[in-house]
């Protein structure tokens, strides 16, 4: 089991980016969570195989049609043994 924390910047709030991320993560068999951050970015935590994480990172650059992704910053981290994938409340302001 591998894990990564991600911050996505650009026009990623108000464009269904979180719902799209949840859908893509579930298709890839990943667990974790995604949430808006008060600074306008979207942050997420993903857990799964190294191959699935690498593919998810590539997908995050695309996002849903209305998004305009500028940066995807991913950092390897420790798995938290999360079951399922959820959209969480906005963090910070």
Which residues carry out catalysis? 18, 36
The SS3 assignment for 79 reads coil
Integer Cα distance of 10 and 88 in angstroms: 19
- Residue 5 near residue 75 (C-beta atoms within 8 A): yes
What is the rounded CA–CA span in Å between residue 85 and residue 10?
A: 23
């Amino acid at each position: 089991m591998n894990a990564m924390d991600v911050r996505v910047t650009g026009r990623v709030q108000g464009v269904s980016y979180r719902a799209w991320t949840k859908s893509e993560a579930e298709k890839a068999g990943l667990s974790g969570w995604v949430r808006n951050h008060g600074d306008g970015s979207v942050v997420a935590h993903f857990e799964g195989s190294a191959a699935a994480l690498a593919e998810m990172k590539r997908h995050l650059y695309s996002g849903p049609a209305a998004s305009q992704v500028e940066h995807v910053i991913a950092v390897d981290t420790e798995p938290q043994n999360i079951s399922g994938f959820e959209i969480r409340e906005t963090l910070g302001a």
